[in-house]
Structure 1
Amino acid sequence: MAFMGTKSASSSSSSTTSGFKYDVFLSFRGSDTRKNFTDHLYAALNQKGIFTFRDDEKLERGTFIAPELLRAIEESRFAVVIISQDYASSRWCLVELAKIVECMKKMRLIVLPVFHYIDPSDVRNLRKTFGEAFAKHEERYQDKIEEVHGWKAALVEVASIAGWDLQDKHEANVVEEIVRKISDKLISTYSIVHKDFVGINSRMEELVNLLGMGLNDVRFIGIWGMGGLGKTTLARVVYDRLRNRFEGSSFLANVREECEKHGFVPLQKQLLSDILFERNINFSDVQMLSNMIEKRLCYKRVLIVLDDVDQLDQLEALAGERVWFGLGSRVIITTRDQHLLIKHDVAEAEIYKAKELNSDEALQLFRLRLFWVKTISGNGFRIFLVFGCAGKLHFPEIIFS
C-alpha cells in the first residue's frame, strides 16, 4: 500500500484558494501597447493557465479609475508594468502605478517592469516624454501636487527594478521569459501535495531527479508497479509541478481503459489539442494522427504523461519514438508491466519502481485515515469517542476530572 494514490487525485493551483484572486495584473498604456505586446503577453499567460487581469478597453475612456481595478491590484501576486513612451502621460496609469508600489511595499506584490522601446534611464531620470508628462501634470493638478509627486516617485522606483528592455530583444523571447519567470515562481507557492498523500514528497523528488530537467535530451521515463501503489498520483503531482516549464503539456489518463472503449484516435486528438490548442482535428486514421504528432511536435519542448498503459501499440500510437518530440521533452509512462517499457526502448536507468510505504509512513497513514476522535465534555468528565474510517465506534474512554 502506498500514499493515497487515486486516479482522481490532482493538485489545486487556483489563486483563489490562497487568498489571491489573480496571478498577474497588467499595467499598460492602452493606446501604446494594447493591440501588440500587451495582447501577446496576455494570450501567452492565459495559455499557460496563469489567471491574468487586464482592464476592459472601454474603461480607459472614463475620467476616474475604477475601484475594482485598484482592488484587482491588491488581489494579485504579480504586477507586470509595461512602461511605454506615453505611459506617464496617462493619469490613470500613474494612479494605478502608485497603488502597485503601495502593494509592493505592504503586501509583497512582485513587480516586473518591461521597458517598451524606451531607454530605462529616461524613465528613472524623467527625461524626454516622461519629463514633459510630469510638467503637464504639475500644471494641471496644482491643487493635488503631493499626489503628482507620489506618482513621480512610484515611476522612478519601478524603473529602478531590473526588468526587460525591448530595444535589444525579440518580443517573442521576452514574452516567453516573463511567462517562464512567473510560472516558476507560482509553482513554488502552490500547495501541490495534499495533506493525505503520505510519503509522496520523497518519491516526487526522486522522480524529478530522474527526469533530468537541466538536460536538453528527450527522455521517456517509466513508472511501474502493481495497482494501488500511487503511480498515477505521483505522475500527476510531478506533471502539475513541472508543466509550466514546457512549451506544451498533456496528461492522458486511463490509457488502457480509454483505448478499450474508444480506440486510439480520441487520445491522439486530445494529445494534439492539449499541446497545439487546436480543437478541430478532423483526421480519424490512427497512422495519419501518429504522423501528425511526429511532424507537429518534433520542434516543441513538451511534457506528456501516458497513464496506465498496458499495450505496446498504445505507446506506438501516442509516443512512438523520441524523435517525435523537441529537445528537452519528457514523456512519463505509468504501467504495471515493466517489460512493456523495456520493449519501448525505455532505458533501465529511466524506469522508476513505485514503492510501498515504509513502516513510519504506514503508521502515519493509519493514524490519518483509520481513526478519528471526537471529545464530549460536561459535568466533570470527558468522553473520547474513537471512530473507524467507516464511522463505526471504537474504544470509548471516559476520564473524570
Structure 2
Amino acid sequence: MAKRKAQEALSPSSSSSSKSKHWMYDVFLSFRGKDTRNSFTGHLYAALKQAGVNAFIDDNELRRGEDIAAELVRAIQGSRIAVIVFSKRYGDSSWCLEELVKIMECRRTLRQMVFPIFFDVDPSSVRRQTGSFAEAFRKHEERLVLDMEKVLKWRAALTEAANLSGWDLSNTADGHEAKFITKIVAEITRHLNNTHLFEAVYPVGIDSRVKDMSKHLGAGLDDVRMVGIWGMGGIGKTTIAKAVYNKFCGSFEGSSFLANVREATKQPNGLVRLQEQLLCDILKTTKIKVGSVDRGINLIKERLRCRRVLIIIDDIDQLDQQYAMAGNSDWFGLGSRLVITTRDERLLNQIGVDSIYPAPEMNETEALELFSWHAFRNGRPDKEYSELSSSIVACYGGLPLALEVLGSFLFGRSMAQWKSALEKWKTIPHGQIQEKLRVSFDGLNDETEKNIFLDISCFFIGKDKNYVRQILDGCGFFAEIGISVLLERRLLTVCEKNKLMMHDLLRDMGREIVRAKFPGDPGKCSRLWHPKDVTDVLTEHSGTEEIQGLTLSLLGSDKTSFSTQAFANMKRLRLLQLKFVQLSGGYEHLSNKLRWLCWHGFPHKFLPNDFNLSNVVAIDLKHSKLVQVWMESRVQYP
C-alpha cells in the first residue's frame, strides 16, 4: 500500500506540479479556533497578509460535527502550503482532525508543502498522542466505538504531521511570540518565492521522460532511493533532471540542484563549495562554512539525516564527487530522493544506485518538432524546407543538442545557405556539437581506450564485437576492458547479432579528432577513411609513418590502380581495408606491423611471397580471385 501511494504522490498524472497548477491560496491555516483564533493564529494571519501572502483562514467559529464543509475541502486542495497550528486542545476537535486527515492526503497526492507549528504543546505529545491528546482520544474512542477506523486515521495523521519539519515555540526565538511569527513568515515567503529551474526554450518530449523517471523515483513511500540518469553527451540528461526537480521539489522538506559537478570540481575547493551549496540550499542559510571535504561529509550526515530531501547531483565523472555529497542513503531522512546524472554507467553501479534510467534519444516525431521550433519558431517545418528538415533529423538521430544547435544556426537562412551548410557538415562537423561530445572522449582513462574508440569510429562500425576485439588485442589495446568502458560511457553500443554500433555524431566526432590534428595534410593523420584523402595520399605518395589505419572502397568496375610504393613510408600501418582496389608493384613496401588485412575483391590468385603477413591476426579476402594462399611453400625445412 505504501509503495502504491508513493507512486501516486510522484506521478505527474496525479496532479499538476506547483509550477503549472493555479493555486487559489498560498497558505491554508489549520487551527482550533477556541485556542488561538484571537491570539497566535490571528497574529500569524495578519503578518502573512501584510507580507503579501494570500492566506486562507476559516472565519466560522461555529463548526460542528466531523464532515468538513465543501468550501474548506476546496480551500485545502487549492492551497500551495498548509500550516497546522497544534495547540494543547487541538486534538479535542474532531473537525480539526478531519481537516488534518485531508491536509495530509493532499500532501501525498497534490505534493503540497505542510508545516506544523507547535504552540504551547510538546511535539512528542502530538506525535504519540500523550498528555492532553491522550485524554482527547480516550473520549473519541468512547464516542466512536463503532468507527475505530476513523480514530486510527486521526492518530496516523497526527503522527505523520508531527514528524514533519516545522517550528516549536518553546525552542525558537526564546519563546518570544512576535519573533517566532516573523521567522515563520520569512520561511513561508521564501518557499513561495522559490524559483524553478529553467529547463529548455522548447521543452519537447520532456513530460514523457519525467513520467518515465517518476516510476524509478516512486518505489516506496518511506525508503531513501538513489536513481541514476545515464546517457551520452547531448542526450538531455540535465534537462530531464531539471524537469524532475521542478516537478517534485515542492513535496520535500528541502531540495538542492548541484549543477555541472564535473566542471565545478575542477575549480579550487570545488567539492567544498558544492557541499556548502547543498547545506545552504536545504537548511536555508548562507552562513555555513565547511572548511574541508571530510568535515563537509560529517556536517551533511549530521544536519540532513532526519530531513526528507530531494538532491540532484548533475554530471559526475568520479566516484569521490558523489561520495562527498551523498555517499550513503542513511545520510538522509526517510522518503528522500537522490538523482545522479552521468555519462558513465559503471560509476552508477559503483555507487550502488537503486535504479538506472537510460535517457532515450528522441523519436522521429519529437526530433522534427524540436528542430522545427529552433529553425522556424514553429512546431512544423516550412513547406519548402520540409524535405531538408527531415533529412537533417534522419542524419542526427534524435540527439536534442544537435537539433537545437543546427536548428538555431539555420534559422532565417536561405535555401542555398541551408544546402551549403549541410554539405560542409558532411566534411567538417559543427564545432559546438563536437565540443560537447568530445567531453566523453577526453574523459577516457588512457590512450588505449582512446585508440580503441578512434579505430572503431573509423573502421569497425557494424563489425562483430568478438572479431574486432581479436584485432584490437593484436594491436596491444586490451580490447575486452576497453570496449567495456566505451559501452559503459554510452560511446558505443552492441546491437543484434553482436555488432558494434555508434551514434553517427560520435562517429563523426572521432573522425574529426583525427582530421583536426593535421587539417589539410591527410598524409600525417593517424587514420584515413575519407575516399578523397586516401586517393590523394596514394596517388601523391604523401603518406607518412603517422598513418596507422587506412580504408578505401571503390566500385568493382573501377580500374584505378595505385602503386604499392605509396605505402613505403607507412611504417606503423596496423589496419588496412580495401574494397576492389588494384595495387601494382612489390608488396615488400607494406608494413610488417599489419594486424588486420581486409581486401574484398583481392585481385590475385595467390598471396605474393613478399607480402609480409607474419603479425596479422585477421584476414578477410571475400569476393577475391584467390585460388591458393601462396604460390610456393613458405615453410623452410632444414
Q: Same fold (TM over 0.5)?
A: yes
Larger Rg, first or second structure (1 or 2) = 2
- Residue 370 of structure 2 corresponds to 365
Which runs of 5 or more residues in structure 1 are unaligned? 1-10, 43-51, 58-68, 88-100, 122-158, 374-382, 397-401
Letter of the structure 1 residue corresponding to residue 296 of structure 2: L
Q: Give the C-alpha shift of residue 221 in structure 1.
A: 0.8
Q: Distance in 2 between matches of 1:218 and 1:308?
A: 21
Do 1:113 and 1:162's aligned partners in 2 also have CA atoms closer than 8 Å?
no
Q: 1:392 aligns with which of 412, 422, 431?
A: 412
| 1:70-98 superposed Cα distances (whole Å, 9 cap, x missing partner) | xx8xxx5x72437679x9xxxxxxxxxxx
- Residue 238 of structure 1 corresponds to 244
- Residue 320 of structure 1 corresponds to 327
Q: 1:24 aligns with which of 18, 27, 42?
A: 27
Letter of the structure 2 residue corresponding to residue 217 of structure 1: D
SS of the equivalent of 1:55 reads helix
| 1:364-391 superposed Cα distances (whole Å, 9 cap, x missing partner) | 2233222247xxxxxxxxx999897444
Aligned CA RMSD, in angstroms, stands at 5.0
Q: Give the C-alpha shift of residue 213 in structure 1.
A: 5.0
Q: Distance in 1 between matches of 2:99 and 2:165?
A: 11
- Residue 304 of structure 1 corresponds to 311
| 1:273-292 superposed Cα distances (whole Å, 9 cap, x missing partner) | 12222332233021011011
Q: Give the C-alpha shift of residue 333 in structure 1.
A: 0.5
Do 2:238 and 2:314's aligned partners in 1 also have CA atoms closer than 8 Å?
yes
Letter of the structure 1 residue corresponding to residue 99 of structure 2: G
- Residue 66 of structure 2 corresponds to none
Letter of the structure 2 residue corresponding to residue 360 of structure 1: T
CA change 1:336–1:174 in 2 (3 A) is same
Q: Distance in 1 between matches of 2:40 and 2:337?
A: 32
CA change 1:237–1:34 in 2 (3 A) is farther
Worse overlay, 276-285 or 229-238: 276-285
* More strand, by proportion: 1
CA change 1:38–1:310 in 2 (3 A) is farther
SS of the equivalent of 2:203 reads coil
Q: 1:79 aligns with which of 45, 52, 56?
A: 56
Q: Distance in 1 between matches of 2:330 and 2:267?
A: 29
CA change 1:325–1:34 in 2 (3 A) is farther
Q: Give the C-alpha shift of residue 324 in structure 1.
A: 1.3
Identity %: 39
CA change 1:284–1:202 in 2 (3 A) is same
Q: 2:161 aligns with which of 173, 182, 206?
A: 173
CA change 1:211–1:281 in 2 (3 A) is same
Worse overlay, 210-219 or 305-314: 210-219
Q: Give the C-alpha shift of residue 260 in structure 1.
A: 0.8
TM normalised by structure 1 equals 0.56
After the TM superposition, which residues 339-354 of structure 1 pair with which residues of structure 2 at under 5 Å, given as runs?
339-347=346-354, 350-354=355-359
- Residue 54 of structure 1 corresponds to 48
| 1:214-233 superposed Cα distances (whole Å, 9 cap, x missing partner) | 33222111111111111111
TM normalised by structure 2 equals 0.37
CA change 1:161–1:192 in 2 (3 A) is farther
CA change 1:216–1:24 in 2 (3 A) is closer
Q: Give the C-alpha shift of residue 353 in structure 1.
A: 1.0
Q: Distance in 2 between matches of 1:19 and 1:53?
A: 23
Worse overlay, 297-306 or 210-219: 210-219
Letter of the structure 1 residue corresponding to residue 230 of structure 2: W
Which runs of 5 or more residues in structure 2 are unaligned? 1-15, 64-70, 102-125, 127-132, 137-154, 167-187, 387-406, 417-638
